[in-house]
Every structure is written in C-alpha cells, then in structure tokens.
Amino acid sequence: MIIFAAMKRRIILITGGQRSGKSEYAERLALSLSEHPVYLATAHVWDEEFRRRIENHQLRRGDAWTNIEEEKYLSRHNLYNKVCVIDCITLWCTNFFFDGSVDSDSQPSVSEALEALKDEFDRFVEQEATFIFVTNEIGSGGVSDSVVQRRFTDLQGWMNQYVASKADEVVLMVCGIATRIK
C-alpha cells in the first residue's frame, strides 16, 4: 500500500514591474515542483487584445498545466497537495475594486475591498498546497493625478504587504533577474 504524505502549505510571492519576468519565473518554479501544476488566472477579459494575451499565455504553458479561471473567489477551488500559480494579485484586486463596474461612483471603499480580499486570501491558503502568487509593484512609479488610480494603488500596495507578511518566500523580479528578498 502506498501512502502519500500531505504537502505542507507554502506561500511564495513573486513581485516586480510589468514585463519583469514574473509570470515566466513563477511558471518555471511551479514546473520544477510539479509535473502537472495548476494555473489560476484571475483576469477579467476587458477587450479583444487582452483576450489574445491570455490565449498566448495558455499556449506558452502547454498541456502540463491545469488552467482555472477565477476572477474573485479563489477559495472555491480545491488545490490540496497541488502546486498553483495565481496570476495575478493585481488583476484580482481590480476585480474586487471595480466589482463589475468601471464607474468610480459605484466602487466599494478601499477598506471594504481590502477586507474582502484579505478574507478570501485567508480562506484560500488554508489548504495544504504550494501557492505561487504573482503581483505587480504598481506603486513604484510616481503618484497618479487620478483619484481612482491613487485609491487602487493604495489597495494593491496594502494587499501586497499582507500577502508578503504571510509568505514563506518573496522574490523581486528586475529585468528578468530573480532576487530573493524574504
């Protein structure tokens, strides 16, 4: 009789700017840990160009991956003993921030969105699995002249800090180079 030992929970956060190599690094890491990892995509398809980006990502990953699309409620998915790339926190935050609407008057408050995100994150990572979260450092640039962008940058930054505080490892990507910071 073969008995499989349960995987311990492990949280890895990979952060950096746009086109810094975050997703590709996360995918290589996942494949080094599992022959059949899970890719949990949080993107909402806003337009045709974005749909093509998603399709290109899926083609690049190939058949080894199980692909799941989930815009908000990650905890719906059982990932017990799996290695999962969650790409990405930024788009996930966008889904809670806009909550189906780009009308700034109907957005939840930043504190409401942040609490909902934290609660969902905590429920999701209760599972015994390896979670590889990808996120963006959108607050590294200048301060936006748009109140909506400033509010979102606050939300994103606070969520990144929350996930990093729970992570076992944090990697900063710069120009395709991974630098371990925790």
Q: Confidence band (pLDDT; 50, 70, 90) for 45?
A: confident
Q: Confidence band (pLDDT; 50, 70, 90) for 105?
A: low
E strand map for 5-124: 10-16, 38-41, 66-69, 83-87
More confident residue, 174 or 7: 174
Whether 16 has a pLDDT exceeding 80, the answer reads: yes
Mean pLDDT across 54-74: 86
User: Any catalytic annotation for residue 57?
Assistant: yes
CA distance 62 to 39: 11
Whether 1 has a pLDDT exceeding 50, the answer reads: no
Of 36, 44, 57, 77, which one is the catalytic site residue?
Answer: 57
CA distance 65 to 58: 9
- The pLDDT of residue 48: 86
